[in-house]
A = this chain, B = another copy of it.
């Protein structure tokens, strides 16, 4: 039965390590049957010295593919520094331009010149262009290897051209048709359109849709590029400069990497920390602590306001210790409802379901939602106190009914405030120019904790004045 699923061999590294000390011929043979992504994954677990030996043992084409894997990011630089110029030069030259740019971004300034010298002049030029853009922009993740031709070519000539130059291009499935006079982008056809063309002597411009092609500018955010590609189901999108000329293209696989990376950042930020920017298993202990301590300290300083607020109510607590029992319950309910609302709005903003201008509409939705949720929790809270009191499990004192009313009322207020504050925070951050995804669950909880205490003791004061307080 040859129909076994070839496993993406998660632990190829120990085997590689073993082969590394054996016969180089064995090693090369074992590796040449592997997929580039798997070799790249295995190389990540090896010491750069060993990894460079493996690279040397690979067939050249596979070596290039391995080095083109975004998985190898953060490791390429160390590996390439272990290689001699004869090996490194052709390898870097053959990489796709977006990955070349990534590699040079990682290289220490001092080393860049050494490797730049190994490249052909046009490659160097393309690289200089790419490195001029920040890595989170369209131009920062684009490749300059795309297929373009004048609109006047025939389908036949186009197909012949593709079969000649195709090997060196990142994709041959989207073909960019340029104005023969000034090189401006006029149209995009797919290889499929060309293949399906009934008459192969007609000009390529007659094939497919004549709509102005979708495009992005060099500085378009990579998240927006991802959204465009995903919405219109594109295989690639052209990056076009002010004069209408194509600088490069962003392909769908680059976009998936960008989506997954953004997703990791968002989850980590929502967890209340700076994004790690490298895998949890690879980041050094010191760097991880720094990334986590920053926000944790900021939140701690914010949360210190609760001690201040509590200080104001010390007299009330001394008089009615029973009130202190419900403090964690009440403030955490506010934090939880706020965290829900924040996660909803962050996501709705990220997916563009909701825009900055919608804040009032959302507030008018979260207000009743918070009230409804608050009434539910308030009712449960009251039932709990009544049941415990009646069954004799706990004695909340002679004024237990008023205490129950206080807790119920405070829950309605705190949950409503939590939902409202949690939903408005991402809008506020966006309005101030920050990433709405910085509105983490702990951030919202901290915000709501202080207010929650004030709401709780205000309700207590209103209900219990003259009795307990």
**Residues in chain A within 8 A of chain B (CB atoms):** 1-3, 5-6, 8, 10, 33, 35, 37, 71, 159, 162-163, 166-167, 172-173, 184-185, 191-192, 195-196, 211-212, 214-217, 228-233, 235, 240, 242-244, 252-253, 255-257, 259-260, 263-264, 266-268, 270-273, 276, 279-281, 285, 288-289, 292-293, 295-297, 299-301, 303-304, 306-307, 310-311, 314, 317-318, 321-322, 324-329, 331-333, 335-337, 339-340, 342-348, 351-355, 365, 368-369, 372-373, 376-377, 380-381, 384, 394, 415, 440-442, 445-446, 449, 453
The reply to whether B196 and A167 form a contact with Cβ atoms under 8 Å apart is yes
A2-B182 Cα distance, complex, nearest whole Å: 13
Contact A279:B37 (CB < 8 A) given known A311-B394, A442-B339: no
> Is A281 within 8 A of B353, CB to CB?
yes
**Partner of A280 from B173, B348, B394 at Cβ < 8 Å:** B348
Q: Which of A233, A314, A336, A440 has the most CB of B within 10 A?
A: A336
Partner of A195, one of B163, B196, B279, B292: B163
B-chain residues with CB within 8 Å of residue A272 when the two chains form the complex = 336, 339-340, 343, 441
Q: List 21 A-B contacts (CB under 8 A).
A: A2-B212, A167-B196, A252-B253, A259-B263, A263-B263, A264-B347, A271-B340, A272-B336, A289-B369, A293-B372, A296-B337, A297-B377, A297-B380, A299-B332, A300-B336, A303-B329, A328-B449, A332-B442, A336-B445, A339-B441, A445-B445
Given contacts A233-B253, A272-B336, A376-B297, contact A307 B285 (CB under 8 A): no
Give the chain B neighbours of A441 by CB distance below 8 A. 270-272, 339, 440-442, 445
Inter-chain contacts of A211 with B (CB < 8 A):
33, 35
Q: Cβ of A365 and Cβ of B285 under 8 Å apart?
A: yes
Which of B230, B336, B342, B365 is A299 in contact with, Cβ under 8 Å?
A: B336
Q: From residue A143, how far is it (CB to closest CB) to chain B in Å? A: 12
Q: Is the CB of A256 within 8 A of B281?
A: no
A289: B residues at CB distance < 8 A: 369, 372-373
Chain B residue at minimal CB-CB distance from A257: B230
Question: What 16 new A-B contacts, CB under 8 Å, besides A173-B235, A230-B253, A307-B325?
Answer: A3-B240, A5-B216, A10-B352, A71-B231, A162-B195, A267-B270, A281-B353, A288-B369, A296-B337, A300-B377, A303-B328, A306-B329, A306-B332, A307-B329, A318-B321, A328-B453
Q: Are A373 and B296 in contact (CB under 8 A)?
A: yes
CA distance A326 to B324 in the complex (A): 11
Q: Is the pair B324, A310 in contact by a Cβ cutoff of 8 Å?
A: yes
A185/B3 contact (C-beta < 8 A), A324-B327, A354-B280 known: yes
- Complex Cα distance, B308 from A328, in Å, reads 11
- Return A180 CB to nearest CB of chain B, in Å: 15
- Assuming A300-B377, A449-B332, is B232 touching A35 (CB within 8 A)? yes
Distance (whole angstroms) from the CB of A333 to the closest CB of chain B: 6
Q: Which residue of B lies closest to A276 (CB)?
A: B344
Task: Please indicate the chain B residues that have their CB under 8 angstroms from the CB of A235 in the complex.
Answer: 173, 235, 252
Residue from the list B2, B266, B442 in contact with A336, Cβ < 8 A: B442
Task: Verify B6–A212 contact, CB threshold 8 A.
Answer: yes
- Indicate if the CB atoms of B368 and A267 lie closer than 8 Å: no
Query: Which residues of the other chain, B, contact A321 by a CB distance below 8 angstroms?
Result: 314, 317-318, 321
Please give, as numbers and ranges, the residues of chain B lying within 8 Å of A255 by CB-CB distance. Answer: 256
Residue of B nearest to A384 (CB): B304
**B301 near A380 (CB under 8 angstroms)?**
yes
Those 9 A-B pairs whose CB atoms lie nearest each other, nearest first: A271-B343, A3-B244, A441-B441, A306-B328, A336-B442, A233-B253, A310-B325, A280-B348, A230-B256
Shortest C-beta distance, A162 to chain B (Å), equals 6
**Nearest B residue to A302, CB-CB:** B332
List the B side residues contacting A266 at CB < 8 Å.
263, 267
Q: Closest Cβ of chain B: how far from A373's Cβ, in Å?
A: 6
**Contact across chains for B281 and A348 when beta carbons are under 8 A apart:** yes
Which residues of chain B come closer than 8 Å to A310, judged between CB atoms? 324-328
- A335 lies within 8 A of B445 (CB): yes
Set of chain B residues within 8 Å of A453, measured between Cβ atoms: 328
